[in-house]
Amino acid sequence: MADGARRATMTTVARALGVSPSTVSNAYNRPDQLSADLRARVLATAARLGYAGPDPVARTLRHGRTGAIGLVYDEPLSFSFTDPAAVLCLRGVAAACERHAVGLTLVPRLPAGAPDLVGTALVDGLVLYCLPADDDRLRVARERGLPVVAVDSPRPPLAPAVTVDDRGGARAAARHLLDLGHRRVAVVAERLAADGWEGTAPRARQDANPYDGTRERLAGYRDAWEAAGLDWDAVRVEERAPYGRDAGRRAARDLLADRPTAVLAMSDELALGVLDAAAARGLRVPGDLSVVGFDDTPSAAAAGLTTVAQPHLEKGAAAARLLLDLPGGAAAPPPLPTRLVVRTSTAAS
């Protein structure tokens, strides 16, 4: 009601009522510390003066707890949420935050040069999503003394993390194709470094991939390959950036000239791009070409894609819980399981 020159504060209310600020504070935080009558009068005066309760920032300074955790993505936010898998993980994190009555702050990535927001975000901890192993933001968070949990990448010992059995899942995907008799197989990969490079990734690049999650996936494919006594270096790994369905389309356009009988796509979005490209080329799936994805997103399911399922929601939720349950920072849990889901995009060679 009364909107003075300056917004009302605890002291304002205290003075108006002739009591001490501590009393006003108690009225809000410890009702048992003052008589019901006085408390009512405090609240009434507060209402009259337009005082909306203790200032959250000052309270935070005092308490040392912001009541929010942060979520950091490798790419700009508006791009990250283009990826259905990232959104699923976000939902998991959000669900855990809701359960703990804690805010979730998306920490934007700024254009290079700008002072990083990871250094100044008002959070009690950070979930890092798919950051490369050597990312600066991990270091900055550490320096601030913020608890950190990584998802997908980087993995321990670089950072405490919630991991998924990417390697096992990828191995199962590759073995599935091998079991179906495929030998001329190509891989469609998302970025294996943050340099925006595109092309057929040589072995050195595959191994130097700083994104731990996808490096594991590639390693899983290779496991299966070598277990079958085949030469992994003969497999074409076609890398495209930036990430997305279009990347899959473009990779496949080039790849299909080799007439592979099957494609291992490192994610469902890429795989859906491959399906597009195949259709454009008049190839039937799975008759002429088998395709396997990774992630098991809803649109992959709708498209009948054979893929590797991982528990996206649980992954995000586990990361948030790790931050929220044990403030000290808990030990990393065992890898979450992956599972091959066979649908209609794969058939015998």
Return residues touching DNA (CB under 7 A): 6-7, 9-11, 18-23, 25-26, 28-30, 32-35, 38-39, 51, 53-55, 58-59, 61-64
Spell out the alpha helix ranges (H) of the chain.
10-17, 21-29, 36-49, 56-63, 77-80, 84-100, 136-144, 166-179, 203-208, 212-227, 245-255, 268-280, 298-302, 312-325
Comparing CB distances to a second copy, the nearer of 218 and 317 is: 317
Comparing CB distances to a second copy, the nearer of 221 and 243 is: 243
Q: From CA 199, how far away is CA 189, in angstroms rounded?
A: 10
Minimum separation from the CB atom of position 175 to a second copy (A): 31
Six-digit token string for 32:
């048992």
Within residues 67-96, the interface with a second copy by CB under 8 A covers 67-68, 70, 76-78, 81-82, 87, 90-92, 94-95
* Binding partner at 16 among a second copy, DNA, none, C-beta below 5 to 8 Å by kind: none
Comparing CB distances to a second copy, the nearer of 122 and 208 is: 122
Comparing CB distances to DNA, the nearer of 51 and 294 is: 51
- What's the alpha-carbon Rg for the chain, to the nearest Å? 26
* Binding partner at 25 among DNA, a second copy, none, C-beta below 5 to 8 Å by kind: DNA
Can you tell me which residue has the tokens 């979520």?
71
Count the neighbouring beta carbons within 10 Å of the beta carbon of residue 185. Answer: 22
# of chain residues touching a second copy (CB under 8 A): 50
* Binding partner at 34 among a second copy, DNA, none, C-beta below 5 to 8 Å by kind: DNA
Minimum separation from the CB atom of position 139 to DNA (A): 18
Asked if residue 58 binds a second copy (CB under 8 A), the reply is: yes
Q: From CA 275, how far away is CA 266, in angstroms rounded?
A: 14
* Binding partner at 9 among DNA, a second copy, none, C-beta below 5 to 8 Å by kind: DNA
CA nearest neighbour of 319 among 168, 196, 145, 149: 149
Within residues 120-179, the interface with a second copy by CB under 8 A covers 120-122, 140, 143-145
Phi, psi of 83 (to 5 degrees): -90, 115
Strands 161-162 and 126-129: unpaired
Minimum separation from the CB atom of position 96 to DNA (A): 25
* Binding partner at 348 among DNA, a second copy, none, C-beta below 5 to 8 Å by kind: none
CA nearest neighbour of 56 among 27, 29, 22: 29
Comparing CB distances to DNA, the nearer of 58 and 208 is: 58
Can you tell me which residue has the tokens 């925006």?
196
* DSSP per-residue letters across 71-110: EEESS-HHHHTTSHHHHHHHHHHHHHHHHHT-EEEEEPPP
* Binding partner at 97 among DNA, a second copy, none, C-beta below 5 to 8 Å by kind: a second copy
CA nearest neighbour of 163 among 108, 217, 103: 217
Spell out the alpha helix ranges (H) of 102-211.
136-144, 166-179, 203-208
Q: Which of 34, 97, 138, 161 is the binder for a second copy (CB under 8 A)?
A: 97
Six-digit token string for 238:
């076609």
3-state SS class at 129: strand
* Binding partner at 45 among a second copy, DNA, none, C-beta below 5 to 8 Å by kind: none
Within residues 13-52, the interface with a second copy by CB under 8 A covers 50, 52
Minimum separation from the CB atom of position 170 to a second copy (A): 27
Asked if residue 279 binds a second copy (CB under 8 A), the reply is: no
Helices and strands counted in the chain (H then E): 14, 12
* Binding partner at 227 among a second copy, DNA, none, C-beta below 5 to 8 Å by kind: none
Within residues 303-322, the interface with a second copy by CB under 8 A covers 313
Q: Which residues bind a second copy (CB under 8 A)?
A: 7, 50, 52-53, 56-61, 66-68, 70, 76-78, 81-82, 87, 90-92, 94-95, 97-98, 101-110, 114, 117, 119-122, 140, 143-145, 299, 302, 313
